[in-house]
Structure 1
Amino acid sequence: MKTLLNFGIPKGSLEAATVELFKKAGWNIGISSRSYFPTIDDEDIHCKLIRPQEMGKYVERGTIDVGIAGRDWVAENESDVVTICEMVYSKVSRRPARWVLVVTKDSPVQKPEDLHGATISTELVGFTKRYFADRGIPVTVEFSWGATEAKVVDGLCDAIVEVTETGSTIKANGLRIVCEMMESVPVMVANRAAMADPWKRGKIEQIATLLKSALKAEGMVGLKMNAPGSKVEEIIKILPSLKNPTVANLYNSDWVSIESILPEKEVRGIVPELLKQGAEGIIEYPLNKII
């Protein structure tokens, strides 16, 4: 029987970004609205759509060899898994998600210890219980099915633990952040037994390398141009680069070809300066991967 790598694709907010990232890395994933088993153009990989909230436990059990989920949900389930790498999707957000302790603006609570004997509402029940237990603060933690911010406003609980990026929505609802409890980004996690298997480990590392290289290329472009050899130093001073730009002599000429990789947003400011220095034939091209 052929060995396959079972990969968990996160269903929900990370789903489309994950499929696009795999495409840039070299794999085409197809997802049907009527199936939880995406197709992939790699006979060594079998994909499954899994909610990020459950990814950690299925990876730990070995039902899935490797998957992508938020670090918060892996922590929530206390999953005994191997974290391979962070997966910060720029098209979702480059800001980490922050789980924060929140009260009403006029609450007397200034620190977690002030919630002794209080009731706290949250989706992240397991983590929140451990957070307060580790600090010796007795509280009651209730699971929230949603509209968590409204619960503390309506007096249904004394505080909430909620996820935010900037805190602006919390502030707009007349609430106040007491402290940050955890910072979370998407991570790729793997089953320990899978990592002990040489073939599966090799496949996981291959996927991780190419996905990270695709993430690294996001927002970056290549820039190539011809320029007089006498202007090389001036042009190199203008060009940002991952390392030093590539400079090659043009055949039978005192001109050179210069090539560099830089953030796309910087191109618009750099091109006029390059033209002033005599650069010609400037070409900008997209990048799929930077390895």
Structure 2
Amino acid sequence: MSEPYLRLGVPKGSLQDATINLFAKAGWKIKLHHRNYFPDIDDDRIKCSLARAQEMSVYVENGTFDVGLTGSDWISENNSDVVVVDDLIYSKVSNRPARWVLCVNGNSPFKRPEDLEGKKVATELVGFTKSYFESLGVNVDVSFSWGTTEAKVVEGLCDAIVEITETGTTIKANGLRIIAELMQTNTRLIANRDAWADPEKRKLIEEINLLLQGALRADKMVGLKMNLPKDKLKDANGSLPSMTSPTVAELQDPNWLSVEIMVEESVVRKLIPELKALGAEGIIEYPLNKVI
């Protein structure tokens, strides 16, 4: 590497804890300090800094960071020239893309974006929102919101807001109504172009991505291990989903087999009773950190 370490930007705010937990599953322990923006990481090849997701792509583009994590929305908003290494679909709430939505007061007469002609819209995503309404040919006054955006509609400071949501719970709790979805966004691993061109830094970035993706893949999966009567293996094959095929090993008792599989966690509640009915015993379910 041109420098003795890789500079990693960790998103501060709502994604901070989820990011640190993801890195922990991938094999890196990041330790925060209460009074500074430079967490420790248990890898002397990497130095960490905290930065707001909204600004991350700017810092990666200008070389402050070699690599960072931020939303595709902010890459677009900042028009940043960075390398998108991969998508990392994770969040503090759910493993699905977040949505930027156009919201109005629940009792307002507005039902479509076109109904907001000449009205005021508040948002943190100013550039994209302006482009969205321009594409519709609708003239609105878009202003930047520094936070508590939902309250601005309720207090009558604007006619509508463009806000990010995953479940819509906060929007409904504030008495607002969604009238349009503007875009979906998810977290991306991005790299500075010069860092990506450095063979050693690129190798480390790809290593980080590989293990992060493995941790994400394992997030919804579990391992199942059991003893199964040998004469029931054929019957069980249809009930044993796995990434390739089950791992089967002989036991000391020739009438029994040890069987191990990796499955989606959501099917386990249905699968275990089926396996038990086939005669499986000693069924063990265990979490997975990474699936590569």
What are the superposed Cα offsets for residues 7-43 of structure 1, whole Å, 9 maximum, x if unpaired? Answer: 1011112112211211211112111112211111211
Match of 1:9, SS?
strand
Deviates more, 1:252-261 or 1:44-53: 252-261
Instruction: Give the number of equivalent residue pairs.
Output: 291
Match of 1:3 in 2: 4
Contiguous gaps of at least 5 residues in structure 2? none
Distance 2:45 2:96 in 1: 33
Partners in 2 of 1:38 and 1:31 — Cα distance?
5
Q: Is the 8 A contact 1:14 1:92 kept in 2?
A: no
- What's the CA shift for 1:288? 0.9
* Residue 116 of structure 1: aligned partner: 117
CA drift at 1:205:
0.8
Paired residue type of 1:247: V
Residues in 1 aligned to 2:118 and 2:154: alpha-carbon distance in whole angstroms: 19
213 and 182 in structure 1: CA distance in 2 versus 1, 3 angstrom threshold = same
Distance in 2, matches of 1:232 and 1:277, equals 9
CA deviation after TM superposition for structure 1 residue 123, in Å = 1.4
Per-residue deviation at 1:91?
5.2
CA apart distance, 1:72: 1.9
Summarize deviations over 1:61-119 as a string: whole Å, max 9, x none. 11111111122222221212122222222653223221111223444433333333322
Relative to structure 1, the CA distance from residue 48 to residue 172 in structure 2 (aligned partners, 3 Å threshold; closer, same or farther) is: closer
Which AA in structure 2 matches 1:109? Answer: F
Q: What is the CA RMSD across the aligned residues, in angstroms?
A: 2.1
TM-score (norm 2): 0.91
Shift of 1:150: 2.7
The share of aligned pairs that are identical, in percent, is 58
User: Which 10-residue stretch deviates more, 14-23 or 265-274?
Assistant: 265-274
Matched residue, 2:241: 240
Q: Secondary structure in 1 aligned to 2:17?
A: helix
Q: Specify the SS of the correspondent of 1:180.
A: strand
Distance 2:20 2:32 in 1: 9
2:141 equivalent to 1:140? yes
> Residue 263 of structure 1 aligns with which residue?
264
Contact 1:64 1:191 in 2 (8 A): yes
Which 10-residue stretch deviates more, 225-234 or 155-164?
A: 155-164
Task: Indicate the residue corresponding to 2:132 in structure 1.
Answer: 131
Task: Quote the residue 2:80 is aligned against.
Answer: 79
How many angstroms apart in 2 are the aligned matches of 1:53 and 1:191? 16
